[in-house]
Amino acid sequence: MSTAMHELRERLGEVSDLEQAAGTLQWDQQTMMPRAGAAARAEQLATLETVVHERATSSELGTLLDRAAEESAGEPPDSDAASLVRVARRDYDKARRVPGELKAEMARAGSLGQEAWERARAQSDFALFRPHLERGLELKRRYVECFSGEFDCAYDALLDDFEPGTRTAEVAAVFEELKAGLVPLIAAIAERVGTTGEEKASTSPLYGAFPAEAQRALVLQILPRLGFDPVGWRLDEAAHPFATGTPGDVRLTTRYEEDHLGMALYSALHECGHGLYEAGVAPELARTPLGSGVSLGLHESQSRLWENVVGRSRPFCTWALPLLQAAFPPQFAGVEVEELFRAANRVRPSLIRVEADEATYSLHVILRFELEQELIEGRLAVADLPEAWNARMRDYLGVEVPDDARGVLQDVHWSAGLFGYFPTYALGNVISLQIWERARAELPDLDARIERGELAPLREWLREHLHRYGRKFTPRETLVLAAGAPLDVRPYLAYLREKLGAVYGLAK
């Protein structure tokens, strides 16, 4: 390796170490940390952010990037060396636009904000969280200003952090197409349920009495089938489940609701999808800026694929049912595969995004996408947010929000300063089907294998066609490599129409 390239990797490796350290401290904050540690943790994260920013924007790094670019000029663009220089340069130029103090301030506010959010959510009291949200938005507006002239609108700058290269207008167009497909589907299901009265008559086996310990044991039976290194991951509990970590140290979280098995089961599969992506990045990209998933949309395609496309499929239900019966005999005795499959795919407008079914889920996202744009542009005041939230929930989903805990306070994102993140969930839905269709075409016995609990072949295919690339290519390029085509809503809508059409007996 050339000298400049060697030095560059060492410098970038240090930045990566510090980012990973911060990631573990954030995990710790949400799973392990005593509550009174929040203020000190906020200082620690802010200082780490300062140090990362200093190193990621130092003029020495700029010089090294120039030298390494010269040295690697002859390398093919898809080589690790050329990709490293290209991506690191893009990160560097972007990071140089943001003052270190602002980054530190955002880290500190995010850490304190999460702590306030947890209290506010526990007491269902938006007022406790309001000043933190106002502060978070104020900081985000200052952040957006750092990119003045680069983007068409404020929201573009936020979105770019999570889905690099994607613009608000594109997302809005995709969401229109999604909405146009989903609304009639949801209406047809509602009409069908109204006609047959089936929904009222049936009770879901996923609701009942499920002790948390037994749920955890069940999840720990299922996840290893997806194929982690047995000593390379762990599972914990968090108020808002998330995944973090690196190959060899993947940290999944889930939440146990003792009256609803679906919460823990599907959120564990979801986070496992994220974890498998991070664990599957090519080892030679470790400790470089290429060593993680390329965008949140691609990331979410993996989590939604395992949670929904696999986890709520008839083959998976066939395999999982005996495990459920062994874990919770009273709830699942006599339950047929078809009944579990229908329970796993029940469509019903509801309050909580992470519990929403596949048909209504994207409407939860679209609501947040709209509110975020209004908040950042100052068209909506934070004080008016709960009312705006509740009104839109009524409009889009026909549900009444009974309290802020089940409304505007349900998600952790805004407390941590994550604005522009939500749309990637719905993009992930769309992408998950594009990738799934290709995988299924190349692995023709996939359904039969899933029915036997053989989940590793799919994981291997995903590693080969997506995970291993890390951040070597842009999200757009990566999508084409994995799915063979650019963003396309049709497979997702076709999948929902077919699956839910079968569940609810809709006309084709």
CA-nearest of 313, 316, 312, 320 to 449 is 316
Q: Is 399 in the site for its own copies (CB under 8 A)?
A: no
* Span of 46-54, 153-161, 414-422, 438-446 interacting with its own copies by CB under 8 A: 46-54
User: How far is 171 from 491, CA to CA, in rounded Å?
Assistant: 17
Taking CB under 8 A as the binding criterion, the range among 31-39, 154-162, 429-437, 440-448 that sits at the site for its own copies is: 31-39
Distance from C-alpha of 278 to C-alpha of 294, rounded to nearest angstrom: 10
Contact flag: residue 47 with its own copies (CB under 8 A): yes
Q: Say how far apart CA 26 and CA 41 lie, in whole Å.
A: 9
CB of 231 to its own copies, least distance (A): 4
Q: Which is nearer to its own copies, 153 or 286 (CB)?
A: 286
Rg of the chain, C-alpha, whole Å: 23
At position 15, the amino acid (one-letter code) is: V
Q: Which of the ranges 10-18, 255-263, 264-272, 455-463 carries the binding residues for its own copies, by CB under 8 A?
A: 10-18
Smallest gap from residue 286 Cβ to its own copies (A): 7
Helix, strand, or coil here: 241? coil
Structure token pair of residue 212: 């948390």
DSSP-derived 3-state class of residue 336 = coil
- For residue 40, state whether it binds its own copies (rule: CB under 8 A): yes
Q: Does 35 bind its own copies (CB under 8 A)?
A: yes
Tokens found for residue 377? 């542009």
Question: What token pair was written down for 415?
Answer: 């407390």
Which listed residue (271, 278, 358, 437) is catalytic?
271
Which listed range, 110-118, 162-170, 227-235, 386-394, lies at the site for its own copies (CB under 8 A)?
Answer: 227-235
Q: Which stretch binds its own copies (CB under 8 A): 15-23, 75-83, 302-310, 449-457?
A: 15-23
Q: Is residue 36 a contact residue for its own copies (CB under 8 A)?
A: yes
* Residue among 159, 52, 44 at smallest CA distance from 111: 44
Of the candidates 136, 138, 135, 116, the residue with the CA atom closest to the CA atom of residue 127 = 116
Of 7, 13, 204, 464, the one binding its own copies (CB under 8 A) is 13
* Binding of residue 278 to its own copies (CB under 8 A): no
Which tokens belong to 443?
């692995």
Query: In what side-by-side order are the strands of the sheet with 243-246?
Result: 233-237, 249-254, 243-246
By the rule CB under 8 A, 248 interacts with its own copies: yes
The nearest distance, CB 467 to its own copies, in angstroms, is 17
User: At a CB cut-off of 8 Å and minimum separation 6, what does 306 contact?
Assistant: 226, 269, 270, 272, 273, 276
Whether residue 460 lies in the annotated active site: no
Contact assessment for residue 139 and residue 131, using Cβ atoms and an 8 Å cutoff: no
The whole-angstrom distance between residue 21's C-alpha and the CA centroid of its chain comes to 21
Cβ atoms of 383 and 330 within 8 Å: the answer is no
Query: Does residue number 39 form part of the binding site for its own copies (CB under 8 A)?
Result: yes
Other beta carbons less than 10 A from residue 486's beta carbon: 10
- Nearer to its own copies by Cβ, of 107 and 366: the residue is 107
If DSSP states are collapsed to H, E and C, what string results for 230-272? CCCEEEEECCCCCEEEECCEEEEEECCECCEHHHHHHHHHHHH
Answer yes or no whether residue 24 interacts with its own copies by CB under 8 A.
yes
Question: Cα(211)–Cα(478) distance, rounded to whole angstroms?
Answer: 41
Residue 31 or residue 325: which is nearer to its own copies going by CB? 31
100 is a site residue for its own copies (CB under 8 A): no
- Would you count residue 233 as binding its own copies (CB under 8 A)? yes
Nearer to its own copies, 251 or 314 (CB): 251
At residue 203, φ and ψ (nearest 5 deg) are -120, 145
Contact segment (CB under 8 A) with its own copies among 30-38, 121-129, 175-183, 197-205 equals 30-38
* One of 5, 8, 12, 46 touching its own copies (CB under 8 A): 46
Count of CA atoms in the C-beta half-sphere (13 A) of 290: 25
CB 11, min distance to its own copies, A: 11
Toward its own copies, which CB reaches closer, 192 or 467? 467
Task: State which residue, 225 or 234, has the beta carbon closest to its own copies.
Answer: 234
- Residues 51 to 90 in contact with its own copies, rule: CB under 8 A: 51
Query: Of residues 67, 141, 287, 392, which one binds its own copies by CB under 8 A?
Result: 287
> Does 43 interact with its own copies (rule: CB under 8 A)?
yes
- Binding of its own copies by 274 (CB under 8 A): no
Q: How far apart are CA 22 and CA 279, in angstroms?
A: 18
Between residue 378 and residue 397, which ones bind its own copies under the rule CB under 8 A?
none
Query: Taking CB under 8 A as the rule, does residue 25 contact its own copies?
Result: yes
Which of residues 60 and 198 has its CB atom nearest to its own copies in the complex? 60
Q: How far apart are CA 395 and CA 176, in angstroms?
A: 16
Answer yes or no: are the C-beta atoms of 14 and 55 closer than 8 Å.
yes
Residues near its own copies (CB under 8 A): 13-14, 17-18, 20-22, 24-25, 28, 32-41, 43-44, 46-48, 50-51, 229, 231-234, 245-250, 286-287
Residues noted as catalytic: 271
